[in-house]
């Protein structure tokens, strides 16, 4: 354990401020900030001094949506908690919230215990869990109360994937009513899975088997319809709602309308929807399979509406939905039948850099970058101000970020356990230099200096973002 660390000379950026300040770290926490060059800052002594001149000093990223080792379509997401959290650290993310899964016929507790065991002593950075609720019944509803008390304060339900994770409207309403009472936050996968399954069957019967048909059957209108329905069910239940992986502009419009009515309705989008499109899904030679995820990638015109939603706060969070499957042997399971391609994209390592590129490109401000990638996910899921900011008392989860370094994203150089990059060849400006997790250097000037097991399970309070 490094004792006192001082980071000198950087531009400290949080969701609310940009200040030239030195940062004092003591016992794994932020002890103080003081304007660089002032007597107060100069007086600090420390075991270790880090020079951040010309660099940004930002809170570690909080990725509120990952799926390490998720079982899906007869295979498992290819990143383990060890490889996935190491890659996250490389990309400047210091907290993930992954999804424990309740299987049908089993309890929430069994699912949570299983995911706790998978992550235990494996993670390079801190982690928490949401709970995927696949089987709403009286026992499950009671268990939700217990989980909220224990720090698992958010529950994902699916309007998609009938026969797997799917909940019907009655099950959704019951879970929402429960969360209205116990303070939990329902996270919704909003796609009309019943209608989509009909369209899948019809497409395959016509011989439309290529990856691009995955995007065609999972229609934007069916995302919008489900988003609207989820909002109305939440309104009836008097519960807040967080819609995950929003990709359709029509769904953003539904969220915006609900928010204009004053409802506690929130939306998350992901880098793949901001930077990739149906053009990628249409790549020949089955390459399109690399871009199969749900909700699907959309035509390019949706991107502008997603950026707009991020600027107007109709979308509040950018998470990755990191759920990698290798091209060889995993995505290939769907050759000849797009519905058998495991759903999900890698990205946990790329998010902070891609969103910095969005700053460079003029889509968002620097402070908004930190807000959507660090502060709001921490607030939304009850981790603030321990995570998501640089302030006295916060965990010293800190990234020294070089805003001028150029890089090219590639599977050759990334650290995720997957044989392709969704952003292969993409040039970005900005790069993570050094990453501290509770004061421990896990990346030091672009060397991995962390270890599996440094990261600890982090229980969460209820949502801190309600109006």
Distance CA 246, CA 227 (A): 9
CB of 71 to ligand URP, least distance (A): 11
Q: Give the shortest CB-296-to-ligand URP separation in angstroms.
A: 8
Which one of residues 188, 323, 390, 442 is an interface residue with ligand URP (CB under 6 A)? 323
CB of 402 to ligand URP, least distance (A): 31
How many residues touch ligand URP under the rule CB under 6 A: the total is: 9
Question: C-beta of 331: minimal distance to ligand URP in Å?
Answer: 12
Rule CB under 6 A: say whether 344 interacts with ligand URP: yes
CA distance 153 to 178: 12
How far CA 198 is from CA of 61, 157, 192, 302, 427, in Å, comes to 39, 21, 10, 25, 40
Residue span 179-218 as binding mask against ligand URP, x where in contact by CB under 6 A, dash where not: ----------x-----------------------------
- Look up residue 165 and give its two tokens: 């994770």
Q: Which residues bind Zn ion (CB under 5 A)?
A: 189, 321
Does 67 bind ligand URP (CB under 6 A)? Our answer is yes
- The smaller minimum CB distance to Zn ion, of residues 321 and 397, is found at 321
| Nearer residue to ligand URP within complex by CB, 294 or 350 | 294
Tokens of residue 203, six digits: 């497409």
Q: Among residues 14, 66, 192, 343, which is the contact residue for ligand URP, using CB under 6 A?
A: 343
Calculated CA dihedral for residues 156, 298, 306, 276, nearest 10 degrees = 100
Choose the one of Zn ion, ligand URP, none that binds residue 293, judging by a C-beta under 5 to 8 angstroms depending on kind: ligand URP
Binding pattern for the stretch 21-60 against ligand URP, x by CB under 6 A and - elsewhere: ----------------------------------------
Angle, alpha carbons 193-185-182 (nearest 5°) = 125
Q: Which one, 31 or 270, has the nearer CB to ligand URP?
A: 270
Q: What does 55 interact with, of ligand URP, Zn ion, none (CB < 5 to 8 A by kind)? A: none
Cis bond before residue 295 (omega within 30° of 0): yes
DSSP 7-46: EEEEEEE-SS-EEEEEEEEETTEEEEEEETTSHHHHT---
Q: Rule CB under 6 A: which of 242-301 touch ligand URP? A: 245, 293-294
**Phi and psi at residue 268, in whole multiples of 5°?**
-115, 140
SS3 381: coil
The token pair that represents 425 in the structure block:
């060849």
Is the CB of 290 or the CB of 431 nearer to Zn ion?
290
Binding status of residue 331 toward ligand URP by CB under 6 A: no
Q: Using the minimum distance from each CB to ligand URP, give the nearer residue, 244 or 398.
A: 244
**Rounded CA separation 402/133 (Å):** 41
Nearer to ligand URP, 317 or 398 (CB): 317
Picked from Zn ion, ligand URP, none, the partner binding residue 402 (CB below 5 to 8 A depending on kind) is none
Nearest residue (CB) to ligand URP, 245 versus 438: 245
User: Which residue is associated with the tokens 């990856």?
Assistant: 211
41-48 — which CB contacts under 8 Å span 24+ positions? 41/8, 44/4, 44/6, 45/4, 46/3, 46/4, 46/5, 46/6, 47/2, 47/3, 47/4, 47/5, 48/2, 48/3, 48/4, 48/5, 48/6
Q: Which is nearer to Zn ion, 189 or 219 (CB)?
A: 189
Report the distance separating Cα 181 and Cα 183, nearest Å: 6
Q: Catalog residues that contact ligand URP under the rule CB under 6 A.
A: 67, 189, 245, 293-294, 321, 323, 343-344
């Amino acid at each position: 354990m490094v004792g006192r660390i001082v980071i000198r000379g950087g531009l400290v950026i949080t969701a609310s401020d940009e200040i030239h300040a030195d940062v004092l770290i003591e016992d794994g926490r932020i002890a103080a900030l003081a304007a660089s060059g002032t007597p107060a800052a100069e007086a600090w002594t420390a075991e270790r001094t880090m020079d951040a001149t010309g660099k940004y000093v930002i809170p570690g990223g909080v990725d509120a949506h990952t799926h390490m080792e998720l079982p899906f379509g007869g295979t498992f997401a290819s990143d383990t908690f060890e490889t996935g959290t190491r890659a996250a650290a490389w990309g400047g993310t210091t907290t993930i919230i992954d999804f424990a899964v309740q299987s049908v016929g089993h309890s929430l507790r069994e699912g949570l215990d299983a995911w706790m065991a998978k992550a235990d002593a494996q993670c390079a950075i801190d982690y928490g869990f949401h709970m995927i609720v696949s089987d709403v019944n009286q026992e499950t509803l009671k268990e939700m109360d217990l989980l909220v008390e224990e720090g698992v304060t958010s529950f994902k339900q699916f309007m998609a994937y009938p026969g797997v994770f799917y909940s019907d409207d009655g099950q959704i309403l019951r879970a929402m009513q429960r969360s209205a009472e116990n303070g939990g936050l329902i996270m919704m996968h909003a796609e009309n899975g019943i209608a989509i399954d009909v369209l899948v069957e019809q497409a395959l019967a016509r011989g439309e088997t290529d990856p691009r048909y995955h995007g065609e059957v999972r229609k934007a209108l069916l995302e919008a319809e489900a988003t609207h329905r989820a909002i109305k069910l939440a309104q009836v239940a008097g519960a807040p709602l967080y819609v995950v992986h929003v990709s359709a502009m029509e769904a953003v419009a539904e969220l915006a309308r609900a928010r204009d009515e004053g409802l506690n309705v929130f939306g998350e989008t992901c880098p793949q929807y901001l930077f990739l499109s149906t053009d990628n899904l249409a790549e020949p030679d089955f390459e399109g399979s690399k871009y199969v995820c749900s909700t699907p990638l959309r035509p390019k015109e949706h991107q502008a509406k997603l950026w707009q939603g991020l600027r107007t706060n109709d979308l509040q969070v950018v998470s990755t939905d990191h759920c990698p499957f290798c091209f060889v042997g995993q995505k290939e399971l769907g050759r000849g039948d797009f519905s058998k391609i495991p759903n999900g994209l890698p990205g946990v390592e790329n998010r902070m850099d891609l969103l910095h590129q969005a700053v460079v490109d003029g889509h968002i401000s620097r402070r908004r970058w930190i807000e959507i990638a660090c502060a709001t996910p921490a607030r939304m899921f009850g981790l603030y101000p321990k995570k998501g900011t640089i302030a006295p008392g916060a965990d010293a989860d800190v990234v020294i970020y070089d805003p001028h370094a150029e890089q090219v994203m590639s599977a050759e150089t990334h650290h995720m356990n997957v044989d392709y990059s969704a952003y292969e060849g993409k040039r970005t400006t900005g790069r993570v230099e050094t990453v501290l997790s509770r004061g421990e250097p896990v990346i030091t000037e672009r060397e991995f200096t962390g270890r599996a097991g440094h990261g600890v399970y982090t229980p969460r309070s209820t949502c801190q973002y309600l109006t």
